[in-house]
Structure 1
Amino acid sequence: MLNEKGPILLACNHPNSFLDGVILDTIFEQPLYSLARGDVFKNPAANKFLTRLHLLPVYRTSEGVENLSSNYETFDECLRIFRQDGIVIIFSEGRCINEWHLRPLKKGTARLTMAAWGSEIPLRVLPVGINYSSFRRFGKNLFINFGTFINSNEVDLTLPEGTRYQAFNQLLEDQLGQLVFEIDKKDKEKQRRLLQLSPSTTEWIFFFIPAMLGLLIHAPMYLPVKYLTLSWTRHNDHYDSVVTALLLFLYPAYLVALSIIAYSFTKSPLSFLIILVAPLMAWAYVRLKPQLDR
């Protein structure tokens, strides 16, 4: 599945902001393009940076009616990508919400699919369910479920436009409903049953000491990032994405700083092994740490 060639539209749920697209782009062999909320493209520098990351803007009415015409340009770009056998990610629910629940599907996926099929592009639509064990902890368990391809012969293309959209969305919703976990945030027992992967006794024996060292080494960097991000994202669902972006830049600098501090005390070149050993200790901690949100 991960080696499939386009033209493919990955129709996904959207539980965790930019992290959803980043993860899919990481695991697929072919580079992916992803549709993203348009308001983050308003800054020219951000627009240039995000475009280089293969992100394409989609505007909602709440982001300015004057921007809606730009969606036609984005859809035209998607069709160009499909003609070159590319793969595009679309989040069929529209808005991102941290939850284990499939929300009603918007028309965007159906509209883009019908435009491709109407242009005689042999597009295949692949439903993808993305499920996280946590929206606040790092080192989370991730369950990505793939459905079966939806092809043009499964929808009567002679139907009126609105009826075609409804027929397509029903096919997509039927599959996504089986791929996306349905868990109430208060149902801790179901969360443990579906999302938790308990470490074995052997893992506890081998990883406990490295894990505790990893906790001590990384806490001075991670905790400020965590609480600062919580204050920034108190009213939205972008916590994981912001933390990931910050750590991507701060963690290498933190490891170098630790190595320099250690060297200043020991005068030993072995101090720079911290750059290699500390991530392994962090990995050991991830194996044993709590996996679910409180």
Structure 2
Amino acid sequence: ALLYQLLKLPAKLGFWLYCRHLRVNNKLAFDLQGPMIIACNHPNSFLDAIVISALFKQPVHSLARGDAFKNPFISKILRSMHMLPVYRTSEGVENMEHNYSTFEACKEIFKQNGIVLIFSEGRCTNEWHLRPLKKGTARLALSSWADSIEVKILPAGLNYNRFRSYDKNIHCLFGEIFGSADVVKNEGFGKSIQSFNSLLQQSLESVVYEIDESNLDSRRKMFKVPVPIWKQVMLIIPAAFACCLHFPLYMLAKFMANKFGAHNDHYDSILISSLFLFYPLYLLLILAITYIYTANMASLLLTFFLPFCAWSYLQIKNQF
């Protein structure tokens, strides 16, 4: 829990450097209290969880793929970041029984009025399309209701202007909250699952964009943020500084993304996480080198100048 709190503030500040524009249709959703399941689409790996967790005021526990928890040390870190494992049959049938422990942990979170984030499509895919929903979200909700835990469901749609680039225009949209009373529960478990998923699918379809990958015009129409000429002129010099001063850092982050995410849907998440983790160290290195050569305390101003330059470049950078 401590690690989660320590990382939440930098994650919020990180929005300033990689999120050019955030559109939200219901900002009051970020103030909601549990017990609640955020049922979200899954277009962009663990970046999706970072975005949701950074925006909500109350701590958000998220369910993640079980194979990430194989290493005991990594598992401990992930759990301290409010992440819980969910296993698929592809990760070993023998691991499926661990999902019962995760569900019980989720119920304990709900009893403490907590929030759990579930990616209801299951696997992550970089696309503008809502895939058929898995049964996990429905099973957790129905099991909680059966135990008299009145958990509510908040459908959430995350939409990005593009993938495989650090700069983001993000549309975080929410559907109507629903609960136990809205789902058929007296016609058998199978019917209840079907009723739940039908309701959730309908709600998510209203907040998840449907855009063909090759249709650049539609993406521009949906996501483009106009940048006034005066703003471009004012920011072009600090943006040029950003290109020069941040080039080594960006190359390092890009190397990490290419090494571990070139052939899967995790490229964006690895790229942005690498920038997020290495940027404070890079900033300290630049400050140290500058101070050693100048012996001038004014070099501390770089603490503000470098991030401002990075923000300036983000504002005028090509969006597609």
- Normalised-by-shorter TM-score class: over 0.9
Find the aligned partners of 2:288 and 2:36 in 1 and give their Cα distance: 48
After TM superposition, where is structure 1 displaced by more than 4 Å over at least 4 residues in a row? Answer: none
- Structure 1 position 94 matched with structure 2 position 104: no
Find the aligned partners of 1:227 and 1:5 in 2 and give their Cα distance: 40
Answer yes or no: is the 8 Å Cα contact 1:137–1:291 preserved in 2. no
Within the candidate set 200, 210, 216, 1:172 is matched to: 200
- Quote the residue 2:7 is aligned against: none
Query: Structure 1 length normalisation: TM-score?
Result: 0.96
Summarize deviations over 1:123-178 as a string: whole Å, max 9, x none.
Answer: 11010000111212213111000011111111121111111111110000001011
- Quote the residue 2:295 is aligned against: 267
Matches within 5 A, 1:106-117: 106-117=134-145
Answer yes or no: is the 8 Å Cα contact 2:66–2:91 preserved in 1. yes
State the shift of 1:18 in Å.
Answer: 0.9
Summarize deviations over 1:81-139 as a string: whole Å, max 9, x none.
Answer: 11111110000000001111100000001111100111111111010000111212213
- Structure 1 position 70 matched with structure 2 position 98: yes
- Quote the residue 2:163 is aligned against: 135
Matches within 5 A, 1:204-215: 204-215=232-243
- Matched residue type, 1:264: I
Find the aligned partners of 1:49 and 1:220 in 2 and give their Cα distance: 28
Find the aligned partners of 1:198 and 1:138 in 2 and give their Cα distance: 19
- Quote the residue 1:243 is aligned against: 271
- Matched residue type, 1:183: I
Matches within 5 A, 1:181-196: 181-196=209-224
Q: Give ranges in structure 1 of 5+ residues lacking alignment.
A: none
- Matched residue type, 1:138: Y
Find the aligned partners of 1:45 and 1:10 in 2 and give their Cα distance: 28
Find the aligned partners of 2:64 and 2:251 in 1 and give their Cα distance: 29
Within the candidate set 260, 263, 266, 1:232 is matched to: 260
- Alpha-carbon RMSD across the aligned residues, in angstroms, is 1.1
State the shift of 1:220 in Å.
Answer: 1.7
What secondary structure is seen at the aligned counterpart in 2 of 1:89?
A: strand
Find the aligned partners of 2:206 and 2:98 in 1 and give their Cα distance: 34
Answer yes or no: is the 8 Å Cα contact 1:7–1:86 preserved in 2. yes
Within the candidate set 23, 33, 36, 1:8 is matched to: 36
Count of residue correspondences: 292
Answer yes or no: is the 8 Å Cα contact 1:260–1:272 preserved in 2. no
- Quote the residue 1:277 is aligned against: 305
- Structure 1 position 39 matched with structure 2 position 96: no
Q: Which shifted more, 41-50 or 146-155?
A: 146-155
- Matched residue type, 2:308: L
Query: Structure 2 length normalisation: TM-score?
Result: 0.89
How many percent of aligned residue pairs carry the same amino acid?
A: 45
Find the aligned partners of 1:54 and 1:147 in 2 and give their Cα distance: 24
Find the aligned partners of 1:157 and 1:232 in 2 and give their Cα distance: 44
